[in-house]
Structure 1
Amino acid sequence: MALIEPEADFWTPEELAESQTYISRFFVVEDGKGYGSALLEAVVEQARKDGKKWVRLNCWSTNKKLHAYYITHGFEHVRTVDVPGRMSGALFQRKIDDSGFRE
């Protein structure tokens, strides 16, 4: 996993201006052990502590299983964009609130 600046190819200027933590290259080697869930929750908790409004990411537009994974972890599908030369483009975000609970 890498935390990077949001990718301007995918997000609107308004979205780019919002306070966010942006996840890139997220993967775990061992499936089904909960490592990915724990890592996602750690990123969300740090974003909350940092006063961020969103945790956002993009993933491969064709990987429906991965889309479902993010949705089960509180993310919502924003839209899918087609950027020439890029396989990713399915945009997801999770809103961070102050209470420690998902909105």
Structure 2
Amino acid sequence: MSTPGTTLQWIECEVPGCWIEVHVSEEAVAAKCWRCCMGQIEHLRKKEGDYLHSVAPAEIRRVRKRAGLSQKVLAFKLNISSSDVSQAERGTVAEPKKKLIDWVLARQKKKKAA
């Protein structure tokens, strides 16, 4: 169910098979790109915990479930193998994938430090 005053839209990304999920409400506009943009999110809300849940169409919801993606907008899974990490360290991985690996490793370091 969508919260009163909110709208959910799906916009096709320029990467085939990727969707951009956009929420618009009185307080914020939020966008999330699945897959190609590393699941990063930009929004104007004060607290992430306050963020809207997905009310995606059933078909996209099924695709996301099959891909292991949570129905919550802020939750997502990334599959990074140790060989991906070693390739990134050697500089033999494509740039978009390297950014993804660097981002995942930075998040892991923050969690370990906490």
Both proteins in one fold, TM over 0.5? no
Answer 1 or 2: which has greater strand percent: 1
Give TM-score, length-normalised by structure 2.
0.23
TM-score, structure 1 length as denominator?
Answer: 0.24
Please state which structure has a larger fraction of its residues in helix.
Answer: 2
Q: Which has the higher contact order (CA 8 A, sep 6+)?
A: 1
